Structure 1
């Protein structure tokens, strides 16, 4: 990533491999014009959608992260270079990367690919400003560091494991948001005495925000039980849940357990299946939500 305050005047034509963040979408009927191709204005919508995925890939929930940074980003300039046509039902991958960081602005480069074919390239110049006054401000150093680390291929999340005294405040905040507020699980069902005896795991982003959590307790000798797995909504699909799950399975291995089980919400069962868990027994109701027991050997 080149640190230069002056954006390039010509849109470059990048290759697919230049992008760490790629958002996949399928062209809808409403997005094609009378010529049967994607209307030119929709490419900006595609880029804007992919930018949201870019922030998710950096493990930065956009709204709260901007509050932490003390400002917000505003589009100053958008440039598009149309090379070939996307058509109805095409599967497209929209790449976004940070190409340049200036004093108060940053340049995001975008590209639209159909497989390896480059259909369009673009550049979006954002300025960092005070939302109240709309006056520009220097880009915060923590934001610069996250952008640089992401483009360098560094991990965006880290996981800490520990007891309730060490991690309980962050775990409680995530579980309250996900289970009590979002899923409407009664608070009296969410909190129990087991928290004090569990190994807890919490995933943090590079600016210290807690984004996902889970816990491990002994089910029976030699078998661990993973539970209270929760990922904050803005980061779902970004790998935070997988890192927490892996950390808890590693904690179970270190305790000498040979198997772990969990009660998966049926909507999340496919995630656990991809992680090697196998469903066991019939579906059942827990806290008003359908679940299935799943197990995996260690």
Structure 2
């Protein structure tokens, strides 16, 4: 991996790159339908993009369903880049941005196979398993320190 750069921006700025990563991970790899993947909430979210020497390798988005609670969504890292710290770097950027926007808590729906990844980052599981897009998930939360 070359130089990893994480940036935050708008859907207008990141649509092509974020869609490419999400399509590779969710649609092609996991079989989620494109309609379900592109849910119409992207323009309301802060978008995050991880690039390896300009090549988009990871993405996430952050929405605020409540003023102090951020919801992390669409976290995706291309398969060859997993285990290299890309996901953790993305999550740090999301948490920093959420804190800057006044959030005291983050929540997310994690696919059960990545639950340990989020637990290592301080997220705690707060639900039983449920299905979303045909994939088992759990709800997780993390309190953010000021």
Shift >4 Å, 4+ stretches: none
Q: Report the counterpart of residue 287 of structure 1 in structure 2.
A: 133
Q: Which has the higher helix share?
A: 2
**Which residue does the alignment assign to 1:170?**
17
Counterpart of 2:107 (choices 261, 267, 270) is 261
RMSD value, Cα: 0.8
1:217 to 43, 51, 63: 63
Q: Normalization by structure 1: what TM-score?
A: 0.48
Deviation, structure 1 residue 261: 0.3
TM norm structure 2: 0.96
Which SS does the other structure have where 2:119 is aligned?
helix
Q: Does 1 or 2 have the higher relative contact order (CA < 8 Å, sep 6+)?
A: 2
After superposition, residues 244-255 of structure 1 pair within 5 angstroms as: 244-255=90-101
Structure 2: state its 5+ residue gaps: none
Report the 3-state secondary structure (helix = DSSP H, G, I; strand = E; otherwise coil) of the residue aligned with 2:107.
strand
Is the Cα–Cα contact under 8 Å of residues 67 and 102 in structure 2 kept in the other structure?
no
Over alpha carbons, which structure has the higher Rg?
Answer: 1
Shift of 1:219: 2.2
In structure 1, what is the equivalent of residue 34 of structure 2? 187
1:243 matched to 2:86? The reply is no
1:79-106 per-position Cα deviation (integer Å, ceiling 9, x unaligned): xxxxxxxxxxxxxxxxxxxxxxxxxxxx
Q: Is the 8 Å Cα contact of residues 59 and 75 (structure 2) preserved in structure 1? A: yes
Aligned pairs (5 A) from 1:86-235: 156-205=3-52, 207-235=53-81
Partner secondary structure for residue 256 of structure 1 = coil
**Structure 1 gap ranges (5+):** 1-58, 60-145, 147-155
- Partner SS state of residue 262, structure 1: strand
